[in-house]
Amino acid sequence: MKFLKNLKESASYYLMRQGPVNKEWDETLSRCMDKYEVKYVDRYNARFNNGVTVWIADRFYAFGTPSFPHSVNVFPKLKTSKRLWELVKDRVPLEKTMKEKLSEIKYYDNHDR
C-alpha cells in the first residue's frame, strides 16, 4: 500500500512540475539544507542564512525552485522537495479561513450610534 501511495505522489509531482530535475540545483539546495538554517519564511519564499531564497508556494508545481531570478526553471528531486517541505511546513503562515476573516469585521447597526 505504501508503494502505491509513493507511486501516486511521485507521478503527480513529475506531472505537475514545469521542467526537468536539475542535478546542480538539487545538490545546491541539499547543501543549503545540510549546512544552513532557514532564516525567513513567508507564504511564498524560504530564505537560508547564506542568502539563498527558494520558492515554496504552489507545492509541488514550482516548489523548490530558486526565487530569484524568476525566469530560471530548475527543479530539485522529489526527495529534496519533501525534505524542504519538512523544514518549512510548520513555519508557513496559513491563510485565514473565511469564518476567521468574517469574525474580524466589525459590524455596526444603527442602534450603536
pLDDT digits (tens, 9 = 90+) for 67-101: 886 657 888 998 999 999 999 988 887 766 667 76
Cβ 85 vs Cβ 69: under 8 Å: no
38 burial type by CB count under 10 A (0-12 exposed, 13-18 middle, 19+ buried): middle
pLDDT score recorded for residue 63: 86
Cβ 88 vs Cβ 64: under 8 Å: no
pLDDT score recorded for residue 93: 78
How far is Cα of residue 70 from the mean position of the Cα atoms in its chain? 15
Instruction: Give dist(CA 40, CA 57) in Å, integer.
Output: 14
pLDDT score recorded for residue 34: 96
Average pLDDT over residues 53-69: 84
pLDDT score recorded for residue 13: 55
Instruction: Give dist(CA 102, CA 45) in Å, integer.
Output: 27
